Amino acid sequence: MPSKRGDISFRLNVCLIIVSAIFISIRLYVRGVMTKALRWDDLFAVMAFVVLMALSALEIKEVGLGAGQQQDSLDLETLAKFFAILPTMQLIYFAATGLVRLSIVAFLPRLNNNKKFLYMVWGLGFIVASTSIVCFMVELFECKHVPDLWDGAAPNRQCMPKSKEAYMFWTHAAIGVAVDVALLVVPIVLVYKKMMFSRRSIKVMIILSVGIFVTITGIIRLIIIVNVDFSVNTTYELPTVSVWTDLEGHVGLWVSCFPALQPLMRIMAVKMGLRSKLDSSKPVYGRTGGVASSGLNRDRRGYVQSGSGSRVGIKDAWDTDSVQAGVVSDVETVPMHLLYPSSQHGRLADGSNGITKTTQLVLAVAGRNKPNSSRSSKTIS
């Protein structure tokens, strides 16, 4: 019978596994099927999901081996099994948090391909990768005889003192918090400076702000591991930090999945009647003074593309190639048959075969307060 602490850890990890599986499944469907925009960030997210599943599974197993119970109430055989799993969990933790952060880092180039911005992004990626790899290797080879890492009762066992190991965990956690803050601030600042004034830019910043919770969990975890001595009554104290460890990894994965869900949310909003149209005919002015034109385009494969400019292929709502010039091409693509279910025999509800070209020309003349604009539309039936 698990203790109260163990029961909390068990229930939490079951819920985290289910929710993370739902998020990653929807992400892969949207990116792989709807928008055809699978990239490196999706690969890192899938890898992080697999590793997080392993971590949560081990957390659940540890509950069955006495996690949350007083250490002196457990027999020696159970304790041996309990402590044999801990090194594996620590190694998995380094890999999981590194992959989650890399999935977010790999997503950021979708927002902007400016060289300075990319240098900063890859710099963050280097910090994440190097920190994760170094800590993983130090943990793995902390014993002179590697298998002794999993056998605390091995004769002549020569391993790194727990005091030095603690400093490594503190350093890793502190760097992780700093990186989380950077990953939270950088995209929000970019959106604030470069994106047009619109409800969409506000929604983007709200979605990215969910990352605040990840940062908070990292800070709480750092405070716990600095102030709690886990070398004493380890079985009882473990759930104290493991709960925040699990939340940090899984919620970070969810945050990395949120941007990929935008096309699906758009479809749901249209079907529920929450959005009466896909674009606005009014020109929108960006923070840098540029003008962003919007229109409704349908590509040859029957997809709607809301935004300006011609494109090759399908991109999701977060691909903004022109943001470095001060203008955001706010692109969303969704399957036409999902938005217009009344179309039959390959023709859309408006009578066309799905190929519509809309062009908006905006001219700004010096000395005039209002720009002159002309708009033309051509439909091929």
User: What does the block give as tokens for 248?
Assistant: 């940090």
The helix or strand, by DSSP H or E, that contains position 128, with its residue range, turns out to be: helix 115-140
Would the pTM count as exceeding 0.95? Answer: no
Domains and CATH numbers, the chain: 4-264 (1.20.1070), 277-380 (no CATH)
The pLDDT score that the predictor gives to residue 381 is: 42
Of the candidates 211, 242, 219, which has an alpha carbon nearest to the alpha carbon of residue 11?
Answer: 242
User: What is the predicted pLDDT for the residue at 185?
Assistant: 83
Torsion of CA 379, 334, 313, 280, to 10 degrees: 60
381 residues of the chain, pLDDT tens digit each: 667 888 899 999 999 999 999 999 999 998 888 888 888 989 999 999 999 999 999 999 999 888 888 888 888 888 999 999 999 999 999 999 999 999 999 988 887 788 888 898 999 999 999 999 999 999 999 998 899 999 888 888 888 888 888 899 999 999 999 999 988 888 777 777 765 556 666 666 666 667 788 889 889 999 999 998 888 888 898 888 999 999 999 999 998 888 888 778 777 777 776 655 444 434 444 444 444 444 444 444 444 444 444 433 334 444 443 333 333 333 344 555 555 554 444 454 455 554 444 444 444 444 444 445 444 444 444
Q: Which amino acid is at 146?
A: V
Q: Give the model's pLDDT for residue 230.
A: 83
The pLDDT assigned to 345 comes to 45
Q: Quickly list DSSP for 251-307.
A: HHHHHHHGGGGHHHHHHHHHHTTS-S-S--SS-EEBTTS-EE--EEEE-TTSEEEEE
| Amino acid identity at 38 | L
